Structure 1
Amino acid sequence: MIEFRRNIVAGTAVLVVAAVSGCAPGTGDRAQPATTATGTSMVTSPTAVPGTLVYLDVAAGRPITMTTVTDGAARRTTFGTATRSDEHVLVPSPDATRLAAVESPDPDSVAPGDLVVISAGGARHTVATKVMWGGGSAPVWMPDGQHVIAAVGGQWRVIDVANGAATPYPAGPRPGADGGYLTWSTNGHWRAIGGSTDVTVTAADGTGEVKRSVASLPECREAAGCPTSVQAVSDDGRYVALGHMNSDPSRVTEAHLVLDMRTGGLVNLPPTAPGGSVDRVFFRPDGGMVVRTVTNDGRYTFVLLRADGSTLATLPDTTQQHPSGRNLVTYRP
């Protein structure tokens, strides 16, 4: 990501390979670009988004439907009937085979509830009780797909979804007591946490902490608040995709900004049609991005970016088009 990021800070080289421990994000040596097609790089212009896009269609009293689109091939799986709580908290596992939810006895008042894991077909397995939720406070899957981070009785815990065993939250900064957005890089090496006016990235073991303020952004002076809802972090820990400030009771899933954690500047994203906007940003292991834009009349388009910021392909999102109950919630390269 060299020339692209030089739009932010002229002459700044981008280093995209970093060790898991003891290094600040983006301080390793840059890997050489691939010259032949690999499973993780986009060399030729694709006809579909490479990797897996995960969409959810959730409405109380109706079947929960997950649509996964892998390299353009769609597959639909149902997870039983949705509850009112499911409309607010429903998080796919990294392999998109299970869902984490919080069953609240009173969703209208955002009352704590049971953390449940839902399997295909609808079977629900309770793994914790007294779990907080609402806005930024929601279950977060660990990269291994076997553990979930959740606020239990006001304390953040790592919960084994097989047996419910709880262990302390990993070392390093954590979401605030009243909730905060947390996300992991796809490779599991980095985590990003959103505060009220800042964003923090650390290695998986809590080292290499980098914190950046976003208080100077114009959005922070608006009613919506600072855009600190972290949605994705790059595999080198340097870039974080940010969405609007959290909004109770539902969790924010959009992202419209990319913050460079090394410079503190914003990365230029593709231009949109008049009245349109960027609403999703995902990072690829080859240094590129998957960016989705939406027009003011609800037409969605993917823009695939190379590591240098140039456009590789522009593709329509035929899975989520207006009007539709489907919502793009995550992406796996």
Structure 2
Amino acid sequence: MTKQYTCGASSISFQEPVFIQSCASVTGQKEGDGPLGSCFDMICPDPMFGASTWEAAESTMQKEAATLAIGKAGLKPADIRLLFAGDLLAQTAASSFGTAGMGIPFYGLFSACSTMGEALSLSALCIAAGYGEHILCATSSHFCSAEKEFRFPLGYGNQRPLSATWTVTGAGACVLGSQPPLPASGKSRPLRCGHSCIAITGLTTGRLVDYGLKDSMNMGGCMAPAACDTIHQNFLDFHRTPADYDAIFTGDLGAVGQKILIDLLYQKGYDICSCHQDCGILIYDSQKQDTHSGGSGCGCAASVLSSYILPGLLAGKWKRILFVPTGALLSKVSFNEGDTIPGIAHAVVIEKYEITS
């Protein structure tokens, strides 16, 4: 059992780390044409992924990412104790239908675009408490299914303001474990290089933050205050500053939300300009791809984490990062009834770890 301690008001520090055994990413062609295209495990040129509906396409994509991650860890579905998964659709339909045939005990999650942070946090807590040796985290989103769910059917041809983000067609999955991953063997490709691996060493659970915004076409503005609150709380709880992190990755604030976050943290005395990156900005080329403010969706942070951030840590690009997926907690019912859009952000401290024994 991993020792864990509550830390400050909202955080937990793992005195013995929780290890990320493997990761996998699957995306659509638009994401494959972006700056991270060479990093993804699979790029499917067919937006339907061989299915008959957008929702079924997303389910197929998430199942593929989960299957890849399990295989990379050298495991079988029967070796996975629990599955934490989620998406943007009502009743987490993409996750439910996508992973139903895998036979893994399942917890369906919804934390909007921050769901990968929630999944990693809950999985790490379970492993630290001794409730499973291997746990799978998976999230996904699909541009077409999300537009249908939250905004306008694609056939309407509606105009998008510059503050809008583009829902990523993508899925990411990670297998967490109580022990460092074993070296690669056969077809397994775990997150290990020599004596180096990747570990979760802490987390900060986000709080609901509501600034009264109601604009579903400005997700960055709705989520930035929550990102600020969680990052600030992480600094306080762990007695850290931005300099203690080689990079701080938010999930999908986009260009608009990034500016708001930087301003809000600056007002609290923190300058994160030199270390902040946003997955929604990284995944698309703002000059060549018409995505306005950037990317969003459960699959945005998950696919960038699995394809770019974790391999970068293993390669020594960074030693310690703060991963902060961000979510806007609206539904089509709450939006149509004129409610505000609260934000949430969950932070996970991830480090390169040297195996000494």
Fold similarity call, TM over 0.5: no
Instruction: Give the alignment's TM-score, normalised by structure 2.
Output: 0.30
Question: As a proportion of its length, which structure holds more strand?
Answer: 1
Instruction: Name the structure, 1 or 2, with higher relative contact order (CA <8 Å, separation 6+).
Output: 2
